[in-house]
Amino acid sequence: MYDVIGDVHGCLRELGSLLDRLGYGKRGHPEGRTAVFVGDLVDRGPSSVGVLRRVMSMVDDGYALSVVGNHDDKLARWLHGRNVKVGRGLQTTVGEMKREGHGFRRHVRDFLDELPEQLSLDEGKLVIAHAGLPEHFHGKRGAAVRSFALYGDPTGEVDEDGLPIRRDWAKDYRGKAAVVYGHTPHPEATWVNNTMCVDTGVVYGGRLTALRYPERELVSVPAVKAYWVRGSA
């Protein structure tokens, strides 16, 4: 039994509220459920470090899993000392990280390095990837798979907010596995051809949403406030 949680983006208070509603305590879930994060744990919200501490603790204690999101991947590259553009919300996390010790930063770097691009759960009936994943990429590895899992299928064009426009892979999906993902915020989480995006834009003032699986029930909590404006640098 799983609870698949959408993009948290540093919204620690909302994450705590959602986990409480789902029934998670300091020692896990009384029914043995596992929280599964779709990535983008960090950036833009008020406490990326707090979210990382909470999620890393849950993973270490054996009752959570996570895939890597594009924001997590960029933070990992920054932690490795690579030349990345510190913008699009990364600056909020970098500011927090600079106040932490070297040991914690190494721990975060190692944690992010180990996150997979996709998870196959429930004997392959449930696939988790940050930006979604078409069936021909399920269980596969490689540069093309990682790019799709982290970024989706961009057209090369941008919208009025300056954000990439992506092809809607879900409308053509006919795979047997349910695919649950995040990356692109939606006003509501709905099923489209056995896929669901659970990013409901908490960092923009929306909601933080979880899909309870196999029940296919949605649980969400409202944002305390809008922390970021879409399209901001």
The string of DSSP letters for 52-96 reads HHHHHHHHHTTSEEE---HHHHHHHHHHTT------TTHHHHHHH
- What is the percentage of the chain residues whose pLDDT exceeds 70? 97
Q: Is 201 in contact with 185 (CB distance < 8 Å)?
A: yes
Query: Which residue's entry shows tokens 């990356």?
Result: 183
Tens of pLDDT, residue by residue over 76-127, are 999 999 999 998 899 999 999 999 999 999 999 999 999 999 999 999 999 9
If one counts every other C-beta atom within 10 angstroms of the C-beta of residue 126, the result is 19
Q: What is the pTM of this model?
A: 0.95
**Strand, helix or coil at 40?**
coil
Q: Is the pLDDT of residue 233 over 80?
A: no
- What is the percentage of the chain residues whose pLDDT exceeds 90? 88
Residue 75 to residue 38: CA distance in whole angstroms: 16
Rounded (to 5) percent helix, strand, coil in the chain? 30, 20, 45
Question: What pLDDT is recorded for position 36?
Answer: 99
Residue 64 to residue 96: CA distance in whole angstroms: 24
Tens of pLDDT, residue by residue over 141-159, are 999 999 999 999 887 787 7
Question: What pLDDT is recorded for position 167?
Answer: 86
**Strand, helix or coil at 163?**
coil
Q: Is 109 in contact with 73 (CB distance < 8 Å)?
A: no
> How is domain 2-222 classified at the architecture level of CATH?
4-Layer Sandwich (3.60)
- Mean pLDDT, rounded, for 15-37: 98
Q: Is 36 in contact with 119 (CB distance < 8 Å)?
A: yes
Tens of pLDDT, residue by residue over 36-52, are 999 999 999 999 999 99
- Mean pLDDT, rounded, for 146-174: 86
Q: Is 62 in contact with 31 (CB distance < 8 Å)?
A: no
Question: Within 101-167, where are the H helices?
Answer: 102-114, 143-151
